C-alpha cells in the first residue's frame, strides 16, 4: 500500500523531507552553494573533474552536486594550491554543492602501502611513493581547505570478506575516529565562510549486529547526516540490501542518508525504497568509457556489431545532447575508432540516465506511485537492448 504524506520539518535548516512513499523519501538538502533535491545521484569527480564531462554538461543533465575525493585532491593539486584558489569550488569553477569522501576507502585500498594505528593511517602515495599520514583530525583539516559542502569522517572501509573479529575491531576504530572527527569539526573554524556538514559513516561488514551497534553509537553522536559505507565491495546484492535496511531503520528520519558507492540503476531504486536519499558511484562514468550504456530502454554494449548501421538515437527519451544528437552507429564508430568523443558522449548519456532516474523517482515518491513505477523500471533498465 502506498502512503503519501507530507512531513516538512522546519527544525532542520540543512534537510527537509517533503514527501514519503512508505520508506522512500523526497527531500531537500540546503547548502550554501545551493539546494539539492533528493533522492539524488552525485556524479563522481574524484580529482575535481567528472571524467570526460564539462561542468556545463553536468548542469544540463541535472547534476546538483558532485563528489570529490580527499585522498586524491590532497595529493594533487594539494592543499596549498586548493587554499590559494579558494578551495575546490574556486579551482574548478563548479559553483554548485560538492561532497568529499574522506579518502578512507582509497587509503585502505593501498594494501601494501599503508599501516593502520589507533592514531590514523600512514600510507605511501600511489603516485610517487611519498609518505603521508591521515588522522581523523587531519582529514577534517584537508576538507576545510577543499571547502566541500558535505564532508565525510575518516573511516575504515572494511574489506570483504572480513572475519567477524576483524570487522568488529575495524568498526569500533571507525566509531572512535568518528568521535574525534566530530570533535575536531567543532573546534576548527571555516576557511571560506560557507557551511560544511559532516557525515558519519556506518561500518560493520555484513554482520547485522555490528551494523546495528555502529549506527546506534553514531546516531547518538548527532551528526548532520549519516552514510552507509563498506557496501558494494563484493558482498551479494541481498547482503547489501539487508545491511542497508538494518542501517536505515536506525537512522534519524529527519537527517539525510547516503549509501556510498552504490550502484546499478536497480540498486539505486531498491535502496531508495529502503529510505536512502543520496548515492554516488563510478559506474555510469566508468562503464561509459568501457562502452556500456545505460538507457531508458535497457543496457547497451555500444561496441556490438548490431549497432553498425543503426540510425536510431542513443536514447530518444532523454532530453540530453548526447542522447538525441548521436546515432548508435556513430557512437559505435567512435568507440571502434578510439575517439575521445565516444567517451564524452557515452559518459553524458549515462550520467543523464542516472540523473533522470533519481529525478523521476522523486516525482513518483511525491505522486505516491513510486513502488509500481520502480518495479517496472527495474525490469526495463535491466534488459539488454
Q: Report the residue number, 20 or 69, with the smaller CB distance to a copy of itself.
A: 69
Q: Report the residue number, 92 or 183, with the smaller CB distance to a copy of itself.
A: 92
CA-CA distance, 262 to 308, in Å (whole number)? Answer: 32
Strand 257-259, strand 278-280: pairing: parallel
CB of 341 to a copy of itself, least distance (A): 4
Identify the active-site residue in 32, 101, 149, 311.
101
CA-CA distance, 178 to 200, in Å (whole number)? Answer: 6
Residue 333 binding a copy of itself, by CB under 8 A: yes
Residue 308 binding a copy of itself, by CB under 8 A: yes
Closest C-alpha among 163, 67, 141 to residue 106: 67
101 a catalytic residue: yes
Residue 110 binding a copy of itself, by CB under 8 A: no
Residue 161 binding a copy of itself, by CB under 8 A: no
Which stretch of DSSP H or E encloses residue 279? strand 278-280
Q: Which three cell numbers stand for residue 223?
A: 551528526
Q: Which stretch, 79-87, 161-169, 223-231, 276-284, contacts a copy of itself (CB under 8 A)?
A: 79-87
Task: For the segment 339-368, give every residue that binds a copy of itself (CB under 8 A).
Answer: 339-345
CB of 60 to a copy of itself, least distance (A): 11
What values do phi and psi take at 175, rounded to 5?
Answer: -65, -45
Find the binder of a copy of itself among 17, 21, 24, 50 (CB under 8 A): 50
Task: For the segment 267-306, give every residue that binds a copy of itself (CB under 8 A).
Answer: none
Closest C-alpha among 212, 209, 96, 93 to residue 150: 96
Q: Report the residue number, 47 or 301, with the smaller CB distance to a copy of itself.
A: 47
Q: Report the residue number, 188 or 327, with the smaller CB distance to a copy of itself.
A: 327
Q: Can you tell me whether residue 24 is helix, strand or coil? A: strand
Identify the active-site residue in 149, 155, 185, 280.
280
222 a catalytic residue: no
CA-CA distance, 103 to 37, in Å (whole number)? Answer: 25
What values do phi and psi take at 206, rounded to 5?
Answer: -105, 25
Extract long-range pairs of 206-211: CB within 8 Å, 24+ residues apart.
206/160, 206/161, 206/235, 206/239, 206/242, 206/243, 207/164, 207/167, 207/168, 208/242, 208/243, 208/246, 210/164, 210/167, 210/168, 210/171, 211/243, 211/246, 211/247
Q: Report the residue number, 18 or 46, with the smaller CB distance to a copy of itself.
A: 46
Find the binder of a copy of itself among 12, 18, 79, 92 (CB under 8 A): 92
Residue 48 binding a copy of itself, by CB under 8 A: yes
Q: Which three cell numbers stand for residue 91?
A: 579551482
Strand 150-152, strand 98-101: pairing: parallel
Residue 91 binding a copy of itself, by CB under 8 A: yes
Find the binder of a copy of itself among 191, 219, 282, 336 (CB under 8 A): 336
Residue 84 binding a copy of itself, by CB under 8 A: yes
Find the binder of a copy of itself among 76, 115, 216, 306 (CB under 8 A): 76
Closest C-alpha among 163, 175, 149 to residue 229: 175
Find the binder of a copy of itself among 14, 18, 77, 286 (CB under 8 A): 77
Alpha-helical regions (H) of 110-163:
136-146
**In degrees, to the nearest 5, what angle opens at C-alpha 54 toward C-alphas 51 and 377?**
70
Total residues interacting with a copy of itself, rule: CB under 8 A:
41
Q: Where are the beta strands (DSSP E) in 70-159?
A: 98-101, 114-116, 121-124, 131-134, 150-152
Find the binder of a copy of itself among 23, 47, 122, 301 (CB under 8 A): 47
Q: Which stretch, 41-49, 178-186, 215-223, 231-239, contacts a copy of itself (CB under 8 A)?
A: 41-49
Residue 52 binding a copy of itself, by CB under 8 A: yes
Residue 56 binding a copy of itself, by CB under 8 A: yes
Q: Which three cell numbers stand for residue 11?
A: 527544525
What is the set of active-site residues?
101, 280
Site residues, a copy of itself (CB under 8 A): 47-56, 72, 76-77, 80-81, 84-85, 90-93, 308-309, 311, 321, 325-327, 329-330, 333-334, 336-337, 339-345
Amino acid at each position: 500500500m502506498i502512503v503519501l504524506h507530507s512531513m516538512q520539518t522546519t527544525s532542520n535548516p540543512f534537510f527537509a523531507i517533503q514527501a514519503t512513499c512508505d520508506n522512500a523519501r523526497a527531500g531537500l538538502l540546503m547548502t550554501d552553494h545551493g539546494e539539492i533535491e533528493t533522492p539524488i545521484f552525485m556524479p563522481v569527480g574524484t580529482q575535481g573533474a567528472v571524467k570526460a564531462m564539462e561542468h556545463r554538461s553536468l548542469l544540463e543533465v541535472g547534476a546538483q552536486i558532485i563528489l570529490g575525493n580527499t585522498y586524491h585532491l590532497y595529493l594533487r593539486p594539494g592543499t596549498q594550491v586548493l587554499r590559494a584558489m579558494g578551495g575546490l569550488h574556486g579551482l574548478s569553477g563548479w559553483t554548485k554543492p560538492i561532497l568529499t569522501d574522506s579518502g578512507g576507502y582509497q587509503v585502505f585500498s593501498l594494501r601494501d602501502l599503508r599501516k593502520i594505528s589507533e592514531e590514523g593511517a600512514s600510507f605511501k602515495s600511489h603516485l610517487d611513493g611519498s609518505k603521508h599520514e591521515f588522522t581523523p583530525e587531519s582529514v577534517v583539516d584537508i576538507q576545510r581547505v577543499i571547502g566541500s559542502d558535505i564532508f565525510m569522517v575518516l573511516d575504515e572501509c572494511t574489506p570483504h570478506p572480513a572475519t567477524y573479529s576483524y570487522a568488529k575491531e575495524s568498526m569500533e576504530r571507525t566509531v572512535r575516529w568518528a568521535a574525534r572527527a566530530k570533535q575536531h569539526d567543532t573546534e576548527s573554524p571555516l576557511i571560506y565562510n560557507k557551511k560544511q556538514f559532516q557525515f558519519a559513516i556506518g561500518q560493520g561488514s555484513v554482520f547485522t549486529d555490528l551494523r546495528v551497534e555502529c549506527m546506534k553509537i553514531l546516531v547518538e553522536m548527532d551528526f548532520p547526516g549519516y552514510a552507509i559505507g563498506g557496501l558494494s565491495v563484493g558482498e551479494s546484492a541481498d547482503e547489501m540490501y539487508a545491511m542497508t535496511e538494518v542501517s536505515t531503520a536506525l537512522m534519524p528520519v529527519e537527517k539525510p542518508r547516503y549509501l556510498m558507492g552504490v550502484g546499478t540503476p536497480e540498486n539505486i531504486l531498491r535502496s531508495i525504497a529502503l529510505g536512502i536519499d543520496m548515492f554516488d558511484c563510478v559506474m555510469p562514468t566508468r562503464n561509459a568509457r568501457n562502452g556500456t550504456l545505460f538507457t531508458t530502454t535497457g543496457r547497451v554494449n555500444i561496441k556490438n556489431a548490431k549497432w553498425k548501421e543503426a540510425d536510431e538515437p542513443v536514447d530518444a527519451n532523454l532530453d540530453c545532447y548526447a542522447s538525441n544528437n548521436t546515432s548508435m552507429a556513430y557512437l559505435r564508430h567512435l568507440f571502434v575508432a578510439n575517439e575521445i568523443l565516444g567517451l564524452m558522449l557515452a559518459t553524458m548519456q549515462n550520467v543523464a540516465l542516472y540523473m533522470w532516474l533519481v529525478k523521476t523517482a522523486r516525482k513518483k515518491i511525491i505522486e505516491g506511485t513510486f513502488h509500481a513505477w520502480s518495479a517496472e523500471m527495474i525490469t526495463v533498465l535491466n534488459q539488454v537492448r
